[in-house]
Structure 1
Amino acid sequence: MSLNATRGACARRPTPKAGARSVATLAFAAQGVSVAAVYTTVPAVTEHLKLAPLLTTAMMVAVALTAGAGSFLGLAAIRRAGSVATMRGAMLTAAAALVLIGSAPDEATVICAYILFGLAAGALDVGVSTRAAAIERAYGRSVFGFYYMAWSVGGVVAALLTAGAARLDWPVAAGLSAQAGIVLLLALCMRSHALPSSAPGPSDTLTQPPLGRRLWIRLIPFGLVLLVVYVVESTVSAWSAVYLRQTLAASLTVAPLAYAAYQAGTVVGRAATDRLVHKCGAAAVVRAAAPVVACALAGMAAAPSWPFAVLAAGAAGLGASVLAPLSLASAARLRPAASEAVLARLNFFNYVGVVIGGAVSGLLGSTGQFRLAYAAPAALALLLLAAARHFTQPPPRGTQPMAARRARSGHGSAPS
């Protein structure tokens, strides 16, 4: 009886892969909450501190630029302390930045708070992507869609919380503090779990093979997709609330709903991403998503009122949902042994897209041309069709790239 009970307890105990997957899910959700908290409160922060439109645009661009720097800080932290510790530290920093944004008494303080958030967001971004790539290798199947679904769920929760806080006439500090509390809670729930294939030590990858200049060339198709995706993402995320407020005369309660609809669309798309990749292939999924994004952005540009813009934002999220996770997953498979360094390089395209989308949309919006800010990315989205053929499938579990097999086959064939 005692032996059977012991076996039953062992069977119910979470496997290392399951524990690692839970930790990554919490981190992706926290990232979604924190990013949504920042973007959906831009109109409220702007009105509270009476910021000039150009200063608001500059702050959003500063967030993107510092996030790019934060991704390389995160890469260094991963190599010293591991991805889980890096993610936890970045989440705690992001929570502190949210509180500081809400309580900032003047322009200088809020600018510093946004810069701090950008650094934390960049470090968290490379941390979650690295961890997801390692888990995908352990499972031997696509998992990035699931994680980005958690990101989107977090974004929906935070956007609805922003709308609810405005409805209840809460000060912006109260709403951001509540969102920071969610991020803090998720950070405290995280526990370290080593994957079965992970070697012991602080870093997920102890030996870092040289990447070489050719890797940049191989990253270009995925980088271009990410660039376009994050032009779309930043245009919708950073400015949809302002667009609804200024151009479509929506209230502060309604303004965050376009962001919520966008993230709800990504939840639906990302819930099906991994199954679609398994059934149809990554390239086919990308080819189907590109025209959906283009048509949805055109719909946002032509929206006669805020309900139409909210519906179009949801459709844009549905189409864009698959592009970032599949780009990151395919890029990470270029060099599985150094995925964190590859993804840090790929993040360059990510933040260029955020800067371009955020800056151009903000400048157009400050001159009353927000509709053009949504029409231009619609044309860019069709360019994604040219890059679709470069997207790859995850190798089946138990298989290894040829280079890895050669490295391990010193005395005969490598074990599968």
Structure 2
Amino acid sequence: MSFNASGRPELGHPDSKVGARRVATLAFAAQGASVAAVYTTVPAVTEHLKLAPLLTTALMVAVALMAGGGSFLGLAAIRRAGPVATMRGAVLTAAAALVLIGWAPGQTATTCAYILFVLAVGALDVGVNTRAAAIEHAYGRSVFGSFYTAWSVGGVLAALLTAGTTRLGWPVAAGLTLQAGIVLLLATCMRTHTLPTPEGPADTVAQQSLGRRVWIRLIPFGLVLLVVYIVDSSVSAWSAVYLHQTLAASLTVAPLAYAAYQAGTVIGRAGADRLVQKLGAVAVVRTAALLAAGALAALAAAPGWPFAVLAAGAVGLGASVLAPLCLASAARLRPETTEGVLARLNLFNYVGVIAGGAVSGLLGSTGHFRLAYTVPAALAVLLLAAARHFSQSPRDLQQPARVHASAAEEGRTVDR
């Protein structure tokens, strides 16, 4: 591989882009699978260790708070070893944490295992999104949505695997060990592929601090991500309880809202890139925000569980595209310091998860679950104001690729 006058690598072979995209897709799938494995086994772990409900809630909040620390660990790892090494190490750590959660002998060991897991996921968040941003720059078009489709698919498959092992009567330790084995297998398939963007320990540009103007421009994306994860947490964590307690659905039917929500996210993310290329990010964000707001209002007013299941699917269809488009647009603010931007943006993610889960749980425990979905519906409408900060047209996505191509051409002239 040759380098231009500035020391940056030239454009690689097209196969490098394809290989890099494949590896990033595996990493996103591994993250989605590992997160789903943890979420879907919380009831079994709680029952196994005989944890009080209040202690379980406090544990989950504490674990979510630790995720922010994982983001900055990932930032440090990327600057030292690069995003691919960070992704691989984080996935391996997450797999180990799954085993530890399953086999932990007591509450203290379980708490430590959960903390290790969430630190790994926080680091993985920064790694996968940084790599996805670099790949999107290399392609010169929207590809972020495809990565989050893999995340959702991994989550759905892991949730089904949990249901299957539980149905077969497997103990939670055996089920989590199987999940960890699958995540470990995905980690072994990760290879490094050269992209036309600077990365790794030799890159001194990434050490630059973010200016005040970048922070100001980052605020709209942070608010979008905050609202998105309030919505996600409200539906993911409490929809089954809502169907059972408020809409009198049976325990067999109650999980269908979560399944419909996840199915909606897969469909929404699978078509996101194509819609961005055809309509532009602004139009897609506005449409998705309106769909999510309307679907949440329908969920809050649902007369029965079948209507609620359909509404939950529509929420997933709309809300699912907002996070990848938000991260992609934010990453383009400062391509040379993508990992720093995304590490800080991730903090809004975790605040949204905590706020959504806590507020919905509080309202639900007082018998006001319908209000728990009305509030996020109102917040989703506010996203319309932030839509203008997203990339205005698909041409914007091609600009970084043209810049790198021009730099590479100049480099070839210098090399000659």
TM range (shorter): 0.7 to 0.9
Q: CA deviation at 1:32?
A: 0.8
Distance 1:244 1:178, change over 3 A: farther
Does residue 340 of structure 2 align to residue 337 of structure 1? no
Partner of 2:141: 141
Residue 6 of structure 1 is matched in structure 2 by none
CA–CA separation in structure 2 for the residues paired with 1:356 and 1:125: 19
Alignment partners' CA distance in 1, 2:220 and 2:386: 5
Q: Please, which of 379, 397, 402 is the counterpart of residue 399 of structure 1?
A: 402
State the distance in 2 between where 1:101 and 1:171 align: 12
Structure 1: segments with no counterpart, 5+ residues = 1-12
Query: Does the CA-based 8 Å contact 2:70-2:119 persist in structure 1?
Result: yes
Deviations 1:136-192 (A, max 9, x none): 111111110111111111111112122223333332223222222221111111111
Q: In 2, are the aligned partners of 1:91 and 1:184 still within 8 Å (CA)?
A: yes
Contact 1:166-1:252 at 8 Å conserved across structures? no
User: CA contact under 8 A between 1:54 and 1:363: conserved in structure 2?
Assistant: no
What TM-score does the superposition give when structure 2 sets the normalisation length? 0.87
Change (3 A) 1:320 1:201: closer
Aligned length: 398
In the alignment, is residue 269 of structure 1 matched against residue 268 of structure 2? yes
**Equivalent residue of 2:403, what SS?**
coil
Letter of the 2:67 counterpart:
A
Deviations 1:82-136 (A, max 9, x none): 1111111111111122222223343323222221111111000000000000001
Q: Which residue of 1 aligns with 2:311?
A: 312
Q: TM-score, normalised by structure 1?
A: 0.87
Q: Indicate the residue corresponding to 2:279 in structure 1.
A: 280
Letter in 1 for 2:403: Q
Mapped to 2, the partners of 1:249 and 1:102 lie a distance apart of 32
Conservation of the 8 A alpha-carbon contact between 1:28 and 1:151: yes
Q: Is the 8 A contact 1:235 1:361 kept in 2?
A: yes
In the other structure, the counterpart of 1:357 is 356
Verify: 1:91 aligned to 2:91, yes or no: yes
Retained in 2: the 8 A contact 1:39–1:239? Answer: no
Change (3 A) 1:106 1:352: same
3-state SS in 1 of match to 2:343:
helix
2:40 is matched with: 40
Matches within 5 A, 1:170-249: 170-195=170-195, 197-199=196-198, 201-202=200-201, 206-244=205-243
Residues 341-384 of structure 1 deviation map (CA, whole Å, 9 limit, x = unaligned): 11111112111111211222233344444443223211111111
1:282-336 CA distances to partner (integer Å, 9 max, x unpaired)? 0100110112112222333344555444332221110011100110111111101
Partner of 1:101: 101
User: SS state of the match for residue 41, structure 1?
Assistant: helix
Q: Is the 8 A contact 1:243 1:370 kept in 2?
A: yes
Residue in structure 1 matched with residue 380 of structure 2 by the alignment: 381
Q: Percent identity?
A: 77
Contact 2:293–2:381 at 8 Å: present in 1 too?
A: yes
Moved more, 316-325 or 233-242: 233-242
Paired position in structure 2 for 1:9: none
Structure 2: runs of 5+ lacking an equivalent: 1-12
